[in-house]
A and B are shown apart, each in its own frame.
Chain A
């Protein structure tokens, strides 16, 4: 261990700056790899990590103990493929680019604003940006005809500034950003509406394809999974100059809004009042066929005729009808278990399919693949967790539904992107029985068990001071969070109402971890320190 090198990194320059330190972590990685390859056990490796931890503790006594904890977590995580990164950097900070950064005509929107914004972020010490890449833009006109021009321009802008890029491959449509599915997909959807998720009343959710058609050749002879895989391949080929250097991460779209879930709420309520818990989305032709088959194999063909008859509607309170009742609800009955197991397993295998496609595509690169898991936190206080159940997470008072989720991410060596880092119970309306913090902790713990890394995101556009505190808390407490993406750049982000508080957040995040020698002395009178530059210190 080259401790002296670390020593030299104590200067107040930090983050993305210390050449010596980078070398060190590379050395560390290579050592670990060699250890791993030779011995195939984790024992030696664990020993190293302990040694390291103790050293760091003695050397930097002023640091919060949380730092040491995260160090341990970080190192133990090396066993997975994720160890290609340098997790010793502490939490990386990213900011999302505007959803419509590239227009439907494949040109960069408000390039000047983005350019200025990127520079501001770079100077603020932000590590990178997240760029949504839309299926509906890059493969707009024709299956297999890709146009990456706008995105390449952006990638170059980002590269020039020395920022990192996390690309989100979006296979969904966005109403907010007025981005649709590819024209050719929408046309197919018009003639075969069963490619979409469908609720009990027959309404289609047209912002993404149903997971039931993943392996069906519905797209002019291609299956959606094949289409996604080809999209990834084309992306990889087109962006090869950036991959591993500028592009360090990819998120793969897993469903509505890119998240691994059913679109249990067709329209997200704007006013945040999650009155209802959503509806099950198992009513398109393919889902029903699958359910029927499953019920027959299960020996209960009658259970396969439809979805639960006693589930409440979108606007109804979950407790207004039988399925989710606290006591004696159908969910606790054998039928409920049958249905929910099937419903959630469909989602899990869908996630597994897409993650493995993405993981194998990018296997030979430096890129880490991530997928987004939603934080369905409303009604978490109830025993049945109705919001999670309709979204496809069989997580109740009796059952942990996230172990299985974490397991597929772990199996594919993928990271989880988890929103809601800014949410706390206080600002949730009481009647929604929401417990975002608890749910987040539960998912994080499942991830910890399966050695899955988490990238955090905020959920609310307007993060309150309390929200920032919550984010900070999560970044420190959830020691599996190694990256936080703030969503997202735009007029509001840079507005005088907002940007100063974000700046303050970034700075406070760093200053909390400053070595005493790096703190600006009062004598100097300069109340500023280079924000963002000290996160690396946290890990040092």
Chain B
């Protein structure tokens, strides 16, 4: 349910992906084509009834700038009497009906059967499925035997499989069918196949009467209503408040409730069937509207043409501005045919259908003296189209052509894009939040403006109405944001398989998931780094310092935002920091369309469709190029949820980095405002992601950071031990893949989205630098008054050979003190409370001490 609108470049240039692009241009021109793919306009969460607008502003004279990256296309007119001519791209929401097809048929022999699930709507369809085995007790899904899993399947925890639907060869008449085939043998002991269909593009889950689809393969009597075969309605989940529910849709734990274990089961002669389920999806259709203005010298009037390819009746709801472009006024007659007055506020003109039926057009004669022609398009009662939340505003002034055609502002934008590349490249949820709040402030200001502006009564209603709409959207977004921070969510945790996996892990010396195991990361840039333009030079000067402090991995900013005017490229640095281990991390922003149902991704990112093989191939090539040619040794993967870990695995395997780490932002669990002690759900999600990469990548331990926040800030050190007496973050479950950190360029630095409690940073480092996992130290902290303390901590870590798989034993976790022993060599305590290691067999000596922390070594 979204309407995307034209995004004026000047409003938020660096958020649009424009800043992203130069990266690719620099690396390889040829690749830019695919990456442009990422710039498809971001859907904005909207009700059908709302005029999509993130950025509501009352009709200020909106100067339309044009750019080749953006959607507006300039038709530079040769003819001198063209005052204005421009084509705007429109995104029209359209409900598309389609169907989900389910076919069961026998294959080449009696025992081999095939289940085909298809969908005829475009989308990134994923089949989320599992099976019940004969004799299963309980209702849990199980994973199917490996030979049943179609290629490309990814296991989800231990009970489900996700298989992307592929475009079927059977697609015909321009209509593509996506489908997946599951082949199985009736001799296997499978009782039923359960599935739901997921559209990764929108995050919607399609279910069968609110339940899983269930295809029974044996006779049994229980029918809980979700067995495929009965004709029943199907749709996306309804929500109480359209948009909110859309955003907050939580994928239901995919467990069917049946208990088929006790039934006497009997293979039945399986009967093939074919079922169709109607499904409705809202998609955006591209349309155009072009507006041109001609000045007629003889009559001293302006002639304005509007032409659009929008189907059906199109009403132009319009007026003119005479002064500052703020006030809609009714022009003098004559009006075009089919024009009516709307409440003395505006005129409504029905455009004439073009001959041939495709689209409509209309012409308007306007007096000189009007500054602008303002309009919005109305398609039906619920659908209005506007220009990025603003009215379309067409300048009419015959004497001064606005500078919008000069191209100057455009290039400024470009520069800005370059400058803010880093911002975009690590653009993730927290940035989006920032955006939301900045934007909200704007709205609130607007309300104030509206309040005080009581002079233009006529215009007020129009304005306030639109304000209302954008405000409602904003309320919902904010509520969802607040909820996602406050709430708790509870998927199941499967600890055992993780432990097994850890045990099975061969003793690799170096793996992309862990590096050597003894890495200490330095995040070598902060939010301001792109500003200096000479960051690499600065860093080069500091490289020896960093190496001497004991860092092994330096994480550099993306090369593209450090290309200075002097033309320094990472290549120049490569040989200069040889005292480091030559490992450089490159942040990659692969933002899939986040799973909106989780409610915390408010701004869908430029979308790279990872499910498309050619896209993946291209990215792989590019990464490979970065690694081979530029000399990057590792990747840091910025991503949002919805980016399938399985694809990361592809990239990593293709490029064999020395070290790869992903950043998975998610909200911790809260119950009524209080952070839950148990954050298993949170770390589980991160671990699921690592799992999906097959352990080829580590992940930032956001859980530990979050818990440290609460523990230190609120003096609740008991939080640092989970119910099993282990560290409560990812580091407690899968230490070798946990990259522990307390701050990075998103959370700290000048961004400060989620800043570590002030003054307690060293306690945080005392924790992560003495614990297993791979610690990462933030640049700002290294070059601060904390340097000597951090240096001491690092040397303690190195001296005692504490590594990512070290064992940690929690000695004390109470209200005001936490103490732990690592590898039986180091004991640390943080918090104001008292703790001393008992000098039994070992002789502990205090080696570091500071505000609310102490560290001892065995001597």
Contacts and interface: CB of A to CB of B under 8 A. Distances in A.
Verify that A and B bind, or say they do not: yes
B61 interface: no
Interface string A445-475: 0000000000000000000000000000000
Nearest to A492: B672
B671 A491 contact: yes
A237 interface: no
A298 interface: no
B714 A123 contact: no
Interface stretch (B225-233, B454-462, B511-519): B454-462
A33 interface: no
Given A11-B461, A495-B483, A495-B487, A120 B244 contact: no
Give the residue among B599, B671, B673, B674 with the most A Cβ atoms within 10 A: B673
A530 B486 contact: no
A178 B675 CA distance: 13
Nearest to B246: A496
A105 B715 contact: yes
A120 B481 CA distance: 10
A491 B673 contact: yes
B50 interface: yes
Interface in B666-694: 670-675
A113 B486 CA distance: 6
Interface in A101-119: 101, 103-105, 107, 109-110, 112-117, 119
Interface stretch (A56-64, A357-365, A373-381, A521-529): A521-529
Contacts of A104: 714-715
Given A99-B673, A109-B714, A162-B448, A528 B460 contact: no
Contacts of A523: 381
A123 B672 contact: no
B673 A496 contact: no
Interface in B465-492: 465, 467-469, 471-472, 474-476, 478-483, 485-488
B662 to A, nearest CB: 23
Contacts of B469: 526, 528
B541 interface: no
Nearest to B51: A526
Interface string B366-396: 0000000000000011100000000000000
Contacts of A489: 482, 673
Nearest to A499: B479
Interface string B38-66: 00000000000110000000000000000
Contacts of B216: none
A295 interface: no
Given A491-B671, A491-B673, A524-B465, A123 B440 contact: yes
B549 interface: no
Contacts of B460: 11-13
A19 B483 contact: no
Nearest to B383: A525
Interface string B650-675: 00000000000000000000111111
Contact of B382 (A12, A20, A525): A525
Contacts of B244: 496, 499-500
A116 B240 contact: no
B433 interface: yes
Of B436, B447, B461, B754, chain A has the most CB atoms within 10 Å of the CB of: B447
A500 B488 contact: no
Contacts of B433: 112, 116
Contacts of B465: 12, 520, 524, 526, 529
Interface string B594-619: 00000100000000000000000000
A490 B244 CA distance: 17
Consensus secondary structure, chain A interface = loop
A22 to B, nearest CB: 10
Nearest to B757: A107
A110 B675 CA distance: 9
Interface string A485-510: 00001111111100111011000000
A236 interface: no
A28 interface: no
Given A124-B475, A528-B469, A161 B670 contact: no
Contacts of A117: 478-479, 482
Contacts of A122: 444
B670 A491 contact: yes
Nearest to B430: A112
A494 B436 CA distance: 17
Given A98-B672, A104-B714, A119-B437, A13 B450 contact: yes
B733 to A, nearest CB: 25
5 contacts: A99-B673, A113-B670, A116-B479, A161-B444, A528-B472
Interface of A: 8, 11-13, 16-20, 98-101, 103-105, 107, 109-110, 112-117, 119-120, 122-124, 161-162, 176-178, 489-496, 499-501, 503-504, 520, 522-531
Given A17-B447, A123-B475, 13 more contacts: A105-B713, A107-B713, A107-B757, A113-B485, A113-B486, A113-B670, A119-B444, A123-B444, A162-B448, A491-B486, A496-B599, A525-B381, A530-B468
List 6 tightest A-B contacts by C-beta distance, closest first.
A525-B381, A491-B486, A500-B241, A120-B478, A113-B485, A494-B483
